């Protein structure tokens, strides 16, 4: 499947086959592809929480308006990110770069993030969003459907997965075999409303 075909075919599926299971190799492949997604300063600050415990899935479902995707999908990934990855070991993310590149990047990372908590949060949200789209398109190529989800109590889900204090949840992605197709597209916006040339 071409990338363009995956983009056109991908929809937010709401009903998954609860009996279907992804093979471990398929999950590994999906996560490996997601980890190729770009991040600012190459910080790779996403942390993908793969929820496999049935009881935990039920608890998360209860915190998400009882949406069946959470328990019925073959794979549930909570996309979280380390807000302080830039500070903890920035040299790790550039260890394979040439010395002049490291000499430039490490001070630049510090200057960009230090004292700018909103920037920290904005960056991880962007990074998780990109990774989520990578997951969904890769899943579509593999013949699976997906649903991006932010309809849940973030604080409760954070408690359930023991989210560290310096991490944030961006969204969840459910992946599996659809029981029925997504609802028809309900109202595409006209291109003229979306595309702005140069200035508003």
Q: Is residue 124 part of a domain?
A: yes
Q: Is residue 14 part of a domain?
A: yes
* Residue-number span of the structural domain to which 84 is assigned: 3-194
Q: Is residue 199 part of a domain?
A: no
Give the C-alpha distances (Å, rounded to integers) separating 24 from 27, 50, 98. 5, 12, 36
**For position 46, what pLDDT does the model report?**
98
For residues 69 and 2, give the distance between their C-alpha atoms in angstroms, rounded to a whole number.
26
| pTM exceeds 0.75 for this model | yes
- Tally of domains in the chain: 1
pLDDT, tens digit, for every residue of 49-62? Answer: 999 999 999 999 99
pLDDT category at 183 given cuts 50, 70, 90 is: confident
Percent helix, strand, coil in the chain, to 5, is 45, 15, 40
Mean pLDDT of 75-94: 96
Q: Is residue 109 part of a domain?
A: yes
pLDDT category at 198 given cuts 50, 70, 90 is: very high
Instruction: Note the helical H segments in the chain.
Output: 3-9, 24-34, 54-62, 69-72, 85-88, 90-93, 99-113, 117-141, 154-160, 191-194
- Sheet of 46-50, strand order: 46-50, 75-82, 167-176, 145-149
Among all chains, which residue has been given the structure tokens 């790790």?
A: 92
Q: Which residues of 149-159 are buried (b: 16+ CB within 10 A; e: fewer)?
A: beebeeeebbe
Indicate which CATH number applies to the domain containing 161.
Answer: 3.40.109.10
């Amino acid at each position: 499947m071409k990338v363009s075909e995956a983009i056109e075919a991908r929809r937010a599926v709401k009903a998954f086959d609860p009996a279907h299971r992804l093979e471990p190799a398929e999950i590994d492949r999906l996560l490996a592809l997601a980890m190729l997604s770009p991040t600012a300063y190459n910080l790779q600050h996403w942390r993908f929480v793969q929820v496999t415990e049935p009881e935990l899935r039920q608890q998360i479902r209860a915190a998400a308006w009882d949406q069946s995707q959470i328990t019925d999908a073959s794979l549930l990934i909570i996309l979280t990110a380390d807000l302080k990855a830039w500070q903890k070991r920035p040299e790790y993310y550039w260890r394979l770069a040439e010395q002049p590149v490291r000499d430039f990047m490490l001070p630049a990372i510090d200057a960009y993030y230090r004292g700018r908590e909103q920037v920290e949060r904005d960056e991880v949200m962007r990074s998780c969003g990109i990774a989520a789209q990578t997951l969904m398109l890769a899943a579509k190529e593999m013949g699976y459907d997906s649903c991006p989800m932010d309809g849940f109590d973030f604080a409760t889900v954070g408690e359930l997965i023991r989210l560290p204090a310096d991490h944030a949840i961006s969204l969840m992605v459910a992946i599996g075999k659809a029981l029925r197709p997504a609802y028809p597209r309900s109202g595409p916006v006209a291109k003229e409303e979306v595309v702005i040339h140069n200035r508003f």
